[in-house]
Structure 1
């Protein structure tokens, strides 16, 4: 606590208002301040400092879906639509290309003369769709062929009893139609649609000199267009820095890719490729006392203090500055105490 005659300067954003502090044992301060005062509580909480960077809200795992059906594109789905197992992605010559789940692409014709892990994948999908391929295994049996024919009949495909890449496309789960790359009436080329997963994500091209703030699992807050925010976590951090170019020439700067997985999907609507602001945590002090920054007094003998509501001035040690508050410690400070702040 400050005793005896002392002088202080009140820190404000637009300039300083002089306060002369007089009296013994922290007695009453004589007011020469140019601004009236209010009070604010000393609080105890985690104090977090952040750095705002630009990001883009979208969907993860965007890719052009390979097409193996030959003919004319006769129907496509609306962009933004979600396709699940057994649903059609697009139609070529009136025949659907159907989505099935797995991780093995269709690279050969599956029939009673084949066996392998891709057969097991097909049978697993048929069973999930309500057809009976017999025991789900790596053997394409006559029961598998019968299940395939039933599925083909229901799906509007030619009942051949065999399956190839012109009939199905494989993805890990549901996909979202991100872009139609071959319009109705045109020849079906290497791809007809680009798809993404249904998982919302934010992509950030983070300046390489800020990579110390990017740790997998670190929490972030994302400010959305039009107001509101959602929480998220960093899910991927690029390992390779990519040079930044401007007008085709390198700028000497570089970025790393940052992917952020979001909570609270209901708040996101159907926004895609929307600009957002990502608040990365750069420092965090847990369970500390803090006051509004404007409560700080610069003491004439050096250092800082705060004026309590009863008029006493207490010297403080400052720590982290974040979100308009500052960490403070000092003798006689406690959670819930009131400190003076300028009232403009």
Structure 2
């Protein structure tokens, strides 16, 4: 991938040699035209250039969150890392009693039983019971009825739970959809207690996360197109899905004070990556600026000048002259140049390959 402009400048300064010394400070051309220093040339073209910047990111899954249980006891089963858990299936078992995944956006913030106030959490439970095949006579609404009580007992019996007719946080957890287990924080045989983290789970959609330096925040906006390079060289187009609004600081190398200040950027991919890695480092190519209808030459045509800045070697009728130029956007191995006397179609010297 293309690197930052500073890296290009350093490389050019080494490659320029003594040719650039022929330019007289303050002038745009050499005092005496030298003989051509190269026999290879390239045309100055007029085209659009896209300036890009590459940043580091990480391939991961969307919607990561921590799962804990209020049950106390011994872990007798736990979902494996990388496995997918769907509605009605256990995430783990404590003393052989399962913590079952149910679908919903509301957390289970109170025990649900006969006599509780009507509410959307009751409806959420009833919708899951119906989807799992319980409660033929159950009406899905916000009221915990006797039919709800019977459906809960049947569900508890099938899952090896105490048949109380009441659902609480030791038995079920509500999440928006199926989850992928990304990290098991407990193992079979571990003792667990209320509030102890047990699993880290995520959604099933792949995405790329970038901790973007706040200095580069102007490079991204929601919906912007990017290119992601994955391990093995696979390149996939993506789109910025979300840009954080809160900056966060990371510790510096010595652990004192702040290192970089970053914002969270999440990117969705246009297709599923070939890699089977759950998480992997990637590079993200951001478009920082688009320059339209500019004069451009191959990057290797630039010569670093002793006085500072850059020049190109104009080759005409077998003779060569140096011309100072200003650089603009870099992209696709080309660089934008401006300067007095430059026209499309002129030939510039380039190193022979």
Please state if 1:248 is matched with 2:255.
Answer: yes
Report deviation, 1:121: 0.7
**1:205-224 deviations in Å (ceiling 9; x for gaps):** 33333333343333322222
2:140 is matched with 136
Matched, 1:155 2:178: no
| Separation in 2, partners of 1:108, 1:210 | 44
Q: 1:52 aligns with which of 51, 54, 75?
A: 54
The aligned residue for residue 106 of structure 1 is 108
Secondary structure of the structure 2 residue equivalent to 1:267? coil
Confirm or deny: 8 A CA contact 1:214 1:237 kept in the other structure. Answer: no
Task: Give the drift of 1:125.
Answer: 1.7
Assess, with a 3 A threshold, how the Cα gap between structure 1 residues 149 and 43 changes in structure 2: closer, same or farther.
farther
| 1:40 Cα offset (Å) | 6.9
TM alignment of 1:191-206, pairs within 5 A: 191-206=197-212
Which of 230, 235, 244 is equivalent to 1:237? 244
SS in 1 for 2:143: coil
- For 1:134 and 1:41, the matched residues in 2 are separated by 76
Bigger mean CA deviation after superposition, 160-169 or 283-292: 283-292
8 Å CA contact retained: 1:179, 1:193: yes
Q: Which runs of 5 or more residues in structure 1 are unaligned?
A: 1-10, 19-29
Q: How does 1:16-27 map to 2 (within 5 A)?
A: none
| Range moving further from structure 2, 55-64 or 33-42 | 33-42
1:84 maps onto 2:86 in alignment: yes
In 2: Cα distance, 1:290 partner to 1:151 partner:
70
Decide which moves more: 288-297 or 124-133: 288-297
Name the CA distance, whole Å, in 1 between partners of 2:201 and 2:220.
28
Root mean square deviation of aligned Cα: 3.8
The CA deviation at 1:86 is 1.6
Instruction: Report the alpha carbon displacement of residue 143 of structure 1 after superposing the two structures with TM.
Output: 2.5
Say if 1:39 and 1:333 are closer, same or farther in 2 by CA, change over 3 A: closer
d(CA) in 1 for partners of 2:158 and 2:315?
79
- Asked whether 1:121 is paired with 2:124, we answer yes
The equivalent residue for 1:4 is none
Distance in structure 2 (CA, Å) of the matches to 1:213 and 1:133: 56
* Structure 2 match to 1:270: 276
In structure 1, how many angstroms separate the alpha carbons of the residues matched to 2:342 and 2:253?
A: 55
- Counterpart in the other structure of 1:187: 191
Residue 219 of structure 2 corresponds to 213
Q: Distance in 1 between the 2:316 and 2:303 partners?
A: 11
Distance 1:239 1:305, change over 3 A: farther
1:315-334 matches, cutoff 5 A: 319-327=328-336, 333=344
2:41 is aligned with 1:35: no
Query: Quick one: structure 1 residues 287 and 153, their matched pair in 2 at CA, closer, same or farther if it must change by over 3 Å?
Result: farther
Partner secondary structure for residue 343 of structure 1:
coil
Partner of 2:232: 226
Give the 3-state SS of the residue equivalent to 1:134 in structure 2: coil
Distance 1:287 1:157 in 2: 71
Shift of 1:342: 4.3
Give, in angstroms, the shift of residue 308 of structure 1.
9.4
Number of the residue aligned with 2:23: none
